Structure 1
Amino acid sequence: MHMRGRLVHRITPEDVGRRVSVRIRLPEGGFTDIVGVVESWDDGVLTVRRRDGSAAEVVESAVAASRVVPPVPPRRRGGRPPQAP
Structure 2
Amino acid sequence: MHSGPALPPGASSRPPHPLASARTGTRWVVRYRLEDDDGSRPGLTDALGELIETNSTSVVIRLRSGEAVRIPKTRIAAAKEVPPAPPRRRGSPAGRVPTD
TM-score between both structures, scaled by the size of structure 2: 0.61
Q: Is 2:45 the counterpart of 1:32?
A: yes
Larger radius of gyration: 2
Q: Calculate the aligned-residue CA RMSD, in Å.
A: 1.8
The one-letter amino acid of 2:28's match is V
Unaligned runs of 5+ in 2: 1-16, 37-41, 93-100
Find the partner of 1:12 among 6, 16, 20.
Answer: 20
Deviation at 1:11, TM superposition (A): 2.8
* 1:1-85 aligned within 5 A: 10-28=18-36, 29-77=42-90
The one-letter amino acid of 1:14's match is A
1:3-58: per-residue Cα shift (whole Å, max 9, x none)? xxxxxx63334332110000011223110110011101123111110011010001
* Paired residue total: 71
Share of identical aligned residues, percent? 37
Paired with 2:26 and 2:18, the residues of 1 have a C-alpha distance of: 13
TM-score between both structures, scaled by the size of structure 1: 0.71
Greater helix proportion: 1
State the 4+ residue runs in structure 1 displaced beyond 6 angstroms. Answer: none
Paired with 1:37 and 1:24, the residues of 2 have a C-alpha distance of: 16
Paired with 2:21 and 2:76, the residues of 1 have a C-alpha distance of: 13
Unaligned runs of 5+ in 1: 1-8, 80-85
Paired with 2:22 and 2:32, the residues of 1 have a C-alpha distance of: 19
